C-alpha cells in the first residue's frame, strides 16, 4: 500500500507542477539580520524544515528545533551549526502526535526561552494509523498538534511582537474537505485506511492548515502577530520512498521539481519579508499571495474548525475563563493567559511517513 500511496501522491504533485509551472521556486529577497530574534521550527530534520532552519541560523537567529526524534534533531542541529557558523541552534523534544508532548514542549519553552519572534509550522506527515490521542495521523499531527502549539505560544509571540506564525500548506487543500460529523464520530477527516483515504486525509489536513491561518488572523486583528499559510512549490526530496522508487523518481524529480532550499524560499518570504503584514491570513506561493479554492476561503468553516479544535485539544470550553474567543481577546489587550490543562503520559504514537520535511 505504501508504494501505491506514493505513486498516487506523485501523480497529483506532478500534475500540480505541470499545471502551475512551479518547476523552480521564487527567491526570498529579504537581506536583513535576525540577531537577537528566536524562531521555533517544526519538521526540521530534513527537507524544507531543515533548509528553513539553516537559512534562519545563517541570518543570526536563535533557532529552536522542535522535533520528536532527539537523535535526528541533534544530527540536524550539528549540520546547521557547522554550515551557518551559528552556535545558537537548540534541540527541544516535541511530538506533534501527542497533545501531552505539545503541552510539555510549550511549558519548557516558556520557562527557558525569553523570546519568540517566529513560529514555523513546517512538519507534515502522510500515513495510516492514529496519534497517541486517537486522532487520524494527518489530522492529529498536521493540524491539531500545530493548532495547540500555536495557541500555547501566542502570548509569548504577542509580547515579542511584531512576530509571525507561518504554516506550510501545500496546494492540495483544493482536494481536501472538512467533514465535521466524521470528526465527531471517528476523530478523523476520512472514514477508511486505503491508500486513497490516506492521501485524502493528508489533503484535508492541508485545508485545515489554510483555514487555521485564516481564522487565526481574524482573531488576532489588533495584535502585533501576523500569520500566513503557504505552498512551497513542487519540492523533491524522495525521502520515505523505497530504494528502487528513489532510483526511478530522482532524475525526473530533479528535472521538474525544486530542491528543499528552493522550497524554503516561500517560507522565508512569509517569515521575513517586510510590508506584508496587511496580508495576514492570506495564502502564499512563489513568494506572492495566491487565491485558494472556495473551501479555503470559507470563514464559517474556519470558525467552526477552530471551535472544534479547541474542544479536541482541551482549550475549550473557555479554558482561559473568558469563553470561546477569550484567549485571543486577552492577547490583543495584553492580559496574561492562565496555564493550560495538563495531561498525563502514554506510549509514543506509531511513526508515520513524512513527505515534506523528514521525521518529526
Grid coordinates in use for 203? 489533503
Q: Distance between CA 261 and CA 222 in Å, rounded?
A: 34
Phi, psi dihedrals of residue 351, rounded to the nearest 5°: -75, 120
Q: CA 63, CA 117: separation in Å to the nearest integer? A: 10
299-322: burial string, b at 16+ Cβ within 10 Å, e else: eebbbebbbbbbebbebbeebbee
Question: Does 19 participate in catalysis according to the annotation?
Answer: no
Please provide the DSSP assignment of 60-95 as one string: T-EEEEEES-HHHHHHHHHHHHHHH----EEEEE--
Task: List the one residue out of 52, 54, 58, 53 whose CA is nearest residue 33.
Answer: 58
Question: From the candidates 15, 20, 202, 228, which is the catalytic residue?
Answer: 202
Cα dist. 86→23, 37, 53, 78 in Å? Answer: 31, 13, 11, 10
CA-wise closest residue to 262 among 47, 72, 5, 6: 47
Report the distance separating Cα 291 and Cα 25, nearest Å.
18
Contact between 95 and 85 under an 8 Å Cβ cutoff? The reply is no
What is the CA 285 to chain-centroid distance, rounded? 15
Please name the helix (run of DSSP H) or strand (run of DSSP E) that holds residue 114, with its range, or none.
none
| In contact, 256 and 238? CB cutoff 8 Å | no
* Centroid of chain to Cα 247: 29
| Closest among 127, 55, 126, 355 to 235, alpha carbons compared | 355
Q: Which residues are catalytic?
A: 202
Amino acid at each position: 500500500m505504501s508504494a501505491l500511496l506514493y505513486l498516487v501522491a506523485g501523480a497529483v504533485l506532478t500534475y500540480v507542477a505541470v499545471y502551475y509551472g512551479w518547476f523552480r521556486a521564487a527567491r526570498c529577497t529579504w537581506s536583513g539580520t535576525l540577531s537577537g530574534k528566536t524562531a521555533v521550527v517544526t519538521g526540521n530534520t530534513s527537507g524544507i524544515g531543515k533548509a528553513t532552519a539553516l537559512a534562519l541560523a545563517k541570518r543570526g537567529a536563535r533557532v529552536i528545533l522542535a522535533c520528536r526524534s532527539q537523535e535526528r534533531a541533534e544530527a540536524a542541529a550539528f549540520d546547521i551549526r557547522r554550515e551557518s557558523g551559528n552556535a545558537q541552534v537548540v534541540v527541544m523534544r516535541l511530538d506533534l502526535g501527542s497533545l501531552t508532548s505539545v503541552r510539555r514542549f510549550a511549558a519548557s519553552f516558556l520557562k527557558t526561552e525569553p523570546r519568540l519572534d517566529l513560529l514555523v509550522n513546517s512538519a507534515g506527515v502522510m500515513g495510516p494509523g492514529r496519534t497517541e490521542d486517537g486522532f487520524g495521523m494527518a489530522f492529529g499531527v498536521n493540524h491539531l498538534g500545530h493548532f495547540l502549539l500555536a495557541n500555547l505560544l501566542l502570548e509569548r509571540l504577542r509580547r515579542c511582537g511584531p512576530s509571525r506564525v507561518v504554516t506550510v500548506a501545500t496546494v492540495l487543500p483544493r482536494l481536501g474537505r472538512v467533514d465535521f460529523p466524521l470528526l465527531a464520530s471517528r476523530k478523523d477527516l476520512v472514514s477508511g485506511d486505503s491508500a486513497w483515504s490516506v492521501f485524502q486525509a493528508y489533503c484535508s489536513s492541508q485545508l485545515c492548515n489554510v483555514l487555521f491561518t485564516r481564522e487565526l488572523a481574524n482573531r488576532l486583528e489588533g495584535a502585533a502577530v501576523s500569520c500566513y499559510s503557504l505552498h512551497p512549490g513542487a519540492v523533491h526530496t524522495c525521502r520515505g520512498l523505497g530504494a528502487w522508487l528513489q532510483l526511478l523518481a530522482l532524475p525526473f524529480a530533479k528535472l521538474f521539481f525544486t530542491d528543499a532550499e528552493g522550497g524554503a524560499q516561500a517560507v522565508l518570504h512569509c517569515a521575513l519579508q517586510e510590508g506584508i503584514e496587511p496580508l495576514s491570513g492570506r495564502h502564499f506561493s512563489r513568494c506572492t499571495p495566491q487565491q485558494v479554492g472556495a473551501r479555503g476561503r470559507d470563514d464559517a468553516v474556519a470558525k467552526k474548525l477552530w471551535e472544534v479544535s479547541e474542544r479536541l485539544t482541551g482549550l475549550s470550553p473557555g479554558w482561559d475563563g473568558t469563553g470561546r474567543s477569550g484567549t485571543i481577546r486577552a492577547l490583543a489587550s495584553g492580559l496574561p493567559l492562565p496555564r493550560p490543562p495538563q495531561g498525563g503520559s502514554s506510549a509514543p504514537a506509531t511513526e508515520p511517513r513524512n513527505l515534506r520535511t523528514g521525521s518529526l
